[in-house]
Structure 1
Amino acid sequence: MKVAHVPLRAAVGAFVLNSGLSKRNLEGEAAQGMHGMAVGAIPQLRQIPPDRFAKLLSYSEVALGAALLVPFVPSALVGLGLTAFGAGLVQLYLKTPGLRQPGSVRPTEAGTGLAKDVWLVGAGLTLVLDGLTPRRSRG
């Protein structure tokens, strides 16, 4: 991992890890609400029961957050995971009614929380692109 990636990976990794840990025990109405919103954006998720979906989401976030925090996971690889995760959240934002102003991508007050997840896509793509760019010699 490049030293320049440490601040980005630490900040995003801690955030995603915490998010995953906070979902570990989601059940009942909380899991159903999260599942329902996800199904609205990705109908195929309907096949997964809400409690199982919440667990899978929690495990995925914990794994992604940990991968961002450990230095031996290549930045390009962890960037791909972060980009995919962020893209899923952006899709959720774009497909959920009431989160965007009519005819616009600008968020409503209710949509601001998800609209801001576009930064995950940007951070992921930055890690991928920088990880795939050959290093120049300084000499």
Structure 2
Amino acid sequence: MNLGNLALRAIPGAWILNSGIGKLGMDNGTAGYLKGMAASGIPALGDLSDEQFKKFIVGGEIAVGSALLLPFVPNRLAGLALGGFAAGMLSMYFKNDEMTESDGIRPTQDGVPMAKDMWLAAIALGLVFGRGKKSN
């Protein structure tokens, strides 16, 4: 793993893993609020109970963060995991009118925290489509 790939994986990996660990003690009220936000982008998540959603989000964040941090996970696989995570986050951003300006792309003040997840999508693309080591 080169220094560039290390940065692309370690920084978002540590951030996402920490987020998942931080949600371990989340109460059902908070889980319900987050589920409502998530369901705006991925409607099927609204069918989960608050407890099921909590397990889903905590497990997902810990799994994605760990995949990025573990050096034996190939870049493409880690990038696909991050890409799925970023796609879910961006679906909430693009499907909530209050998060984007009238053009549907630029963030409003409320949308800025979600718009930052575009960087995660770019990192995922770099990991999936980046060049691997050349064999000799």
Q: TM-score scaled by structure 1?
A: 0.90
> Displacement, 1:137?
6.3
What corresponds to 2:113 in structure 1? 113
Unmatched 5+ stretches in structure 2 = none
> Displacement, 1:74?
0.3
What corresponds to 2:83 in structure 1? 83
> Displacement, 1:10?
0.9
Q: Contact 1:23–1:55 at 8 Å: present in 2 too?
A: no
Q: Contact 1:99–1:109 at 8 Å: present in 2 too?
A: yes
Cα deviation per residue 1:99-130 (whole Å; 9 max; x = unaligned)? 11123311111110000101111001100111
Q: Contact 1:26–1:55 at 8 Å: present in 2 too?
A: no
Does 1:70 find its partner at 2:60?
A: no
Counterpart Cα distance in 1 of 2:115 and 2:42 = 17
> Displacement, 1:134?
5.3
Counterpart Cα distance in 1 of 2:50 and 2:32 = 5
Q: Contact 1:26–1:51 at 8 Å: present in 2 too?
A: no
* Off by >6 Å, runs of 4+ in structure 1: none
Give the residue type in structure 1 aligned to 2:75. Answer: S
Counterpart Cα distance in 2 of 1:70 and 1:6 = 10
Q: TM-score scaled by structure 2?
A: 0.92
Give the residue type in structure 1 aligned to 2:71. Answer: P
Alignment of 1:1-139 (within 5 A): 1-130=1-130, 133=131, 135-136=133-134
Counterpart Cα distance in 2 of 1:21 and 1:108 = 29
Most deviating of 14-23 and 50-59: 50-59
> Displacement, 1:69?
0.8
Counterpart Cα distance in 2 of 1:52 and 1:22 = 17
Change (3 A) 1:63 1:122: same
Percent sequence identity over matched residues? 38
Unmatched 5+ stretches in structure 1 = none
What secondary structure does 1:98 align onto? helix
Give the residue type in structure 2 aligned to 1:104. Answer: G
Q: Contact 1:37–1:96 at 8 Å: present in 2 too?
A: no
> Displacement, 1:136?
4.1
Cα RMSD between the aligned structures? 1.6
